[in-house]
Amino acid sequence: MTFIVRQLSRTAEGREIVRTARQETDAISIGRDAGNAIHLADLAVELHHASVSTRDGGQLEVESTCGLPFEIDGRSTLQAQINPATGAELRFGGHRVGISAEEGIAVLTVERVGALSDASESREEIGLFTLKGLLPGRRPVAWGLIGAVLLIFLAWPIFTYATSHGVEKRSAGFHADRMWLSGPLSIAHKSLKANCQACHVNKFEAVRDSACLTCHRDDAHAHADPARIALAKEPPGIGARIKGLFQTAFNHQAGRCVDCHTEHEGAGRMPATAQAFCTDCHGSLKTRLTDTRLKNAGDFGTDHPQFMPAVTVGTDAHGGRLYRRVSFDAHPVDNNGLKFPHAIHLARGGSIARMAQTMKAEQGFGDSLACKDCHAPTADGTRFKPVEMERDCGMCHSLAFDRIGGTFRTLRHGDPAQVVADLRAYYRSTGPDRPISLGGMARRRPGDYAASETTLDYVAGARAYGGQAEDAVKAVFSPGGACFDCHVVTPTGNGAEPFEVRKVVQPDRYMKKGWFDHNAHRSETCISCHAADTSKAATDLLLPDLASCRTCHVGEGGSRMKPVKAPVESSCAMCHDYHIDAGAPWLARQKVDRTKGQPRFVPAVASVR
């Protein structure tokens, strides 16, 4: 029997080399051992792996001789019958043995198909030593990340904006433009955090005042005429010019609410507007707004005009208060219509102090009078109530003139005509006190001269009694009288109303442009600011001037002109309000809230809904 064994191999260029050998034998052995007819230098093959022998009818039988399988046409087996004319392909490890027939002779074609080792496999050597293949490529990752970031952080929020444009209130839950939030909202606006469009109404349009005014309808008072504000502004510095460049470039209008009321600056209260926002105009206002009556004010500690309290200069025809603002430098006097020397009332010795001592139990006085004995604070503690004669003076300055049983009759305070009428009525309806010796039904006996003289005196007195009323009226309205001691009294010459008392006017505030809160000054005594203990005249204006306030209050950054022991940094907003109304300035409200732990002040017009 003849076999043809063809060994195929390839050159480096891929050219085929064929070596053919004829074998005259009945069986061909296949294995790694060099003695085999087909020698496969393949470590996956046994030394004597299989044999091919002829069978009847030209059939070939392939049989494993080592007990390990081989593959025939892809199937693993230990034994197989093959018709060479039909052909088959055997596989031993990395070698292929093709079986075919040429002119009736079986041909076995041997070819190495698997590489000898992994390292010897032909590979692309560039990149072999790099991380290529171990990590996803940089380019696709970069593109993927670009896509993801733009999609999640740009496209999605824009979609949210587009779908919620014009919506009053969005549904609860997550909205993608939340990812654009540059910082937490302040306490006041916390509830808007899911509703970006409440303030950011239109895209690429900076927040407009109209958005603020949707809610702040009543509490955003205009500060001044916008045209004058524009005129009053300081020319921009380098920083402001740079900001201005950005603002014009990006449609950012100046002079909006948000210029001062900055948001997204962190949770908590909205930060107080810095002094610079005021002093930009007011620091050198007069140079630009030449017709203004306001004086320049740059800093409380160093550059603030003297206070100009509104002092009383008289009353108008209807008794209304007439006042004028006078600088402390002009030593103003306050003519409120009273004659009231504070000093003797507060003196530690003397008749008033002694009287106070006698009334300790009844009125709660101390060893001498104190401010609180006559002055009562308002409910919020900010200011003091106007003095009321009956409540605040009447405990000592009694207007009683008669006693019926246990009841005192008093003169009507504040109504001179009534006083005159009451006194006249008193004298008309009563007589002099009846001497006790005239009492009873005892019979007069002759010789009792004393009794008859008393009777005559009494009758004469009783006859003239009504005429004494005018003297009494005169006495009340004259020096030493109950009215005259405290009030300015002028005789009218009119019989029905012989005297006129000048109306007393008490302002609730002397400083209407600035805010002062007594609550915030509880650690001080009254006389540390109000020199009442040395005031001998009611016209003394017992208010502290600028220098007096500066003994504690310094400028925003601690600036001061003299050494201050315990400085209180005070920006403009401590006393002044941009959106002026009757309430406390915003910063003062904050400070008092903080010190008291609970809100004491309700904005005068609180209508933020």
Partner 1 sequence: MASEAPRRAMQTGRVRSDGAHDGFLRHNNFQWLKVGASVSLAAILAYLLIDVQPRPNGGSWYGYVLGTVGAGLIVWLTLLGLRKRVMTPGAWSLKAWTSAHVYLGLSLIVIATLHTGFQFGWNVHTLAYVLMMFVILSGIFGVSAYATLPRAMSANRDEMTEAQMLESLRAIDRQLHDAAQPLELRQAELVRSSLEQDPFGGSLWQRLSGNYPDCETRAAQAAVRTENAYKPKLGNDPLEKIDGLLARKEAMLARVRRHLRLKALLEIWLYVHVPLTFALLAALFAHIISVFFYW
Least distance (Å) between residue 235 CB and partner 1: 15
Contact 413, 392 (CB under 8 A): no
Contact 60, 53 (CB under 8 A): yes
Q: Which amino acid is at 113?
A: V
Give the residue, chosen from 17, 135, 227, 441, that forms a contact with partner 1 under the rule CB under 8 A: 135
Answer yes or no whether residue 172 interacts with partner 1 by CB under 8 A.
no
Q: Which is nearer to partner 1, 115 or 561 (CB)?
A: 115
Select the span of 147-155, 359-367, 458-466, 521-529 touching partner 1 (CB under 8 A): 147-155
Least distance (Å) between residue 69 CB and partner 1: 13
Signed CA dihedral, 401, 403, 404, 409: sign only: positive
Least distance (Å) between residue 12 CB and partner 1: 13
Fill in the DSSP letter of residue 233: S
Fill in the DSSP letter of residue 112: E
Least distance (Å) between residue 127 CB and partner 1: 10
Answer yes or no whether residue 206 interacts with partner 1 by CB under 8 A.
yes
Answer yes or no whether residue 134 interacts with partner 1 by CB under 8 A.
yes
Q: Which is nearer to partner 1, 208 or 321 (CB)?
A: 208
529-539: string of b/e by CB count within 10 Å (b at 16+)? bbbbeebeebb
Answer yes or no whether residue 509 interacts with partner 1 by CB under 8 A.
no
Contact 488, 337 (CB under 8 A): yes
Answer yes or no whether residue 602 interacts with partner 1 by CB under 8 A.
no
Answer yes or no whether residue 426 interacts with partner 1 by CB under 8 A.
no
Select the span of 51-59, 172-180, 425-433, 487-495 touching partner 1 (CB under 8 A): 172-180
DSSP per position, 535-600: --STTB-----HHHHTTTEE-TTS--SS--SS-EE--GGGT--SS--SS--HHHHHHHHHHHSS--
Least distance (Å) between residue 47 CB and partner 1: 7
554's CB contacts (< 8 A; 6+ apart) are: 300, 301, 560, 564, 567, 568, 569, 570
Tell me how far apart the alpha carbons of residues 21 and 3 are, in angstroms, rounded to a whole number: 8
Q: Which is nearer to partner 1, 258 or 294 (CB)?
A: 258
Give the residue, chosen from 12, 56, 74, 120, that forms a contact with partner 1 under the rule CB under 8 A: 120
Least distance (Å) between residue 128 CB and partner 1: 6
Tell me how far apart the alpha carbons of residues 335 and 323 are, in angstroms, rounded to a whole number: 9
Answer yes or no whether residue 11 interacts with partner 1 by CB under 8 A.
no
The helix (run of H) or strand (run of E) holding residue 373 is: helix 371-374
Give the residue, chosen from 6, 233, 243, 286, that forms a contact with partner 1 under the rule CB under 8 A: 243
CA neighbours closer than 13 Å in the CB half-sphere of residue 72: 18
Q: Which is nearer to partner 1, 66 or 229 (CB)?
A: 66
DSSP per position, 61-110: EEEESSS--EEETTEEESEEEE-TTT-EEEEETTEEEEEEEETTEEEEEE
3-state secondary structure 170-197: CCCCCCHHHHHCCCCCCHHHHHHCCCHH
Q: Which is nearer to partner 1, 244 or 377 (CB)?
A: 244
Select the span of 269-277, 292-300, 390-398, 535-543 touching partner 1 (CB under 8 A): 269-277
Answer yes or no whether residue 117 interacts with partner 1 by CB under 8 A.
yes
Kindly state the number of chain residues that form the binding site for partner 1, as judged by CB under 8 A.
Answer: 67
Q: Which is nearer to partner 1, 85 or 154 (CB)?
A: 154
Answer yes or no whether residue 112 interacts with partner 1 by CB under 8 A.
no
Select the span of 50-58, 220-228, 241-249, 333-341 touching partner 1 (CB under 8 A): 241-249
Answer yes or no whether residue 307 interacts with partner 1 by CB under 8 A.
no
550's CB contacts (< 8 A; 6+ apart) are: 300, 301, 560, 561, 562, 564
For residues 54-83, which are near partner 1 according to CB under 8 A? 66, 68
Q: Which is nearer to partner 1, 66 or 475 (CB)?
A: 66
Q: Which is nearer to partner 1, 207 or 369 (CB)?
A: 207
Contact 573, 276 (CB under 8 A): no
Give the residue, chosen from 38, 50, 196, 399, that forms a contact with partner 1 under the rule CB under 8 A: 196
Least distance (Å) between residue 180 CB and partner 1: 4
Select the span of 126-134, 221-229, 334-342, 535-543 touching partner 1 (CB under 8 A): 126-134
Answer yes or no whether residue 46 interacts with partner 1 by CB under 8 A.
yes
Among residues 65, 61, 64, 97, the alpha carbon closest in space to that of 81 is found at: 61
Give the residue, chosen from 9, 20, 165, 183, that forms a contact with partner 1 under the rule CB under 8 A: 183
Give the residue, chosen from 246, 349, 480, 493, that forms a contact with partner 1 under the rule CB under 8 A: 246
Among residues 37, 51, 42, the alpha carbon closest in space to that of 6 is found at: 37
Helices (H), 117-237: 138-150, 156-164, 209-213, 226-232
Q: Which is nearer to partner 1, 200 or 295 (CB)?
A: 200
Select the span of 239-247, 301-309, 433-441, 444-452 touching partner 1 (CB under 8 A): 239-247
Contact 460, 441 (CB under 8 A): no
Give the residue, chosen from 150, 187, 322, 442, that forms a contact with partner 1 under the rule CB under 8 A: 150
Among residues 64, 537, 40, the alpha carbon closest in space to that of 336 is found at: 537
Give the residue, chosen from 24, 56, 125, 362, that forms a contact with partner 1 under the rule CB under 8 A: 125
Give the residue, chosen from 180, 328, 426, 484, that forms a contact with partner 1 under the rule CB under 8 A: 180
Tell me how far apart the alpha carbons of residues 145 and 342 are, in angstroms, rounded to a whole number: 81
Contact 205, 251 (CB under 8 A): yes
Answer yes or no whether residue 253 interacts with partner 1 by CB under 8 A.
no
The helix (run of H) or strand (run of E) holding residue 276 is: helix 276-282
Contact 256, 173 (CB under 8 A): no
Give the residue, chosen from 12, 17, 128, 379, that forms a contact with partner 1 under the rule CB under 8 A: 128
**Torsion angle defined by CA atoms of residues 244, 247, 250 and 255, in that order, rounded to the nearest 10 degrees:** -140
Contact 108, 52 (CB under 8 A): yes
Answer yes or no whether residue 449 interacts with partner 1 by CB under 8 A.
no
DSSP per position, 4-22: EEEEEEE-TT--EEEEEEE
Answer yes or no whether residue 113 interacts with partner 1 by CB under 8 A.
no
Least distance (Å) between residue 155 CB and partner 1: 9
Which residues bind to partner 1, rule: CB under 8 A? Answer: 32-34, 41, 43-44, 46-47, 66, 68, 116-120, 125, 128-131, 134-135, 138, 141-146, 148-150, 153-154, 157-158, 161, 177-184, 196, 200, 203-204, 206-207, 239-240, 242-243, 246, 250, 252, 262, 265-266, 271-274, 276-277
